[in-house]
């Protein structure tokens, strides 16, 4: 069984205007994003060159642009858009994205609401990478 390496980015906090209710869109709130990328880091480990890996600073900026960008109703949609952005890098074979909405409009005491999506590159796309 082949195991993939991982790059993990947790706790990225970005202001956005997502939600079903008008006040969520008007006032906005902070969202917290966790990502786990699955990919091979063998080439980067050998070359010691940032060009051979996913630059996590640039990844954080791309994710922040999605979160601060066009509003959506559901954090499920937001998580899927973030996953798509991570998969734009052809080296990424899979990604897990968790979007936390700690200030969700729930009239009870709670610590967090979160949605996690898991996405993988289509098998035919993986063949293109290795060819």
State yes or no: is 101 an active-site residue.
Answer: yes
Active-site residue, selected from the candidate residues 18, 81, 100, 101: 101
What does the alpha-carbon distance between residue 111 and residue 130 come to, in Å, rounded to a whole number?
Answer: 43
Residues forming beta bridges with residue 10, ordered by sequence position: none
CB 7 within 8 A of CB 41: yes
Under 8 Å between Cβ of 47 and 26: no
* Catalytic residue annotation: 101
């Amino acid at each position: 069984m082949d195991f993939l390496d991982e790059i993990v980015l947790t706790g990225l906090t970005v202001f956005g205007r997502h939600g079903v209710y008008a006040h969520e869109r008007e006032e906005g709130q902070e969202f917290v994003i966790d990502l786990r990328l699955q990919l091979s880091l063998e080439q980067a480990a050998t070359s010691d060159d940032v060009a051979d890996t996913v630059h996590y600073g640039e990844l954080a900026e791309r994710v922040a642009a999605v979160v601060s960008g066009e509003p959506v109703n559901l954090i499920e949609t937001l998580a899927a858009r973030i996953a798509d952005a991570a998969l734009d890098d052809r080296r990424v074979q899979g990604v897990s994205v968790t979007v936390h909405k700690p200030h969700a409009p729930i009239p009870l005491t709670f610590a967090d609401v979160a949605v996690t999506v898991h996405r993988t590159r289509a098998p035919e796309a993986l063949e293109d990478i290795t060819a």
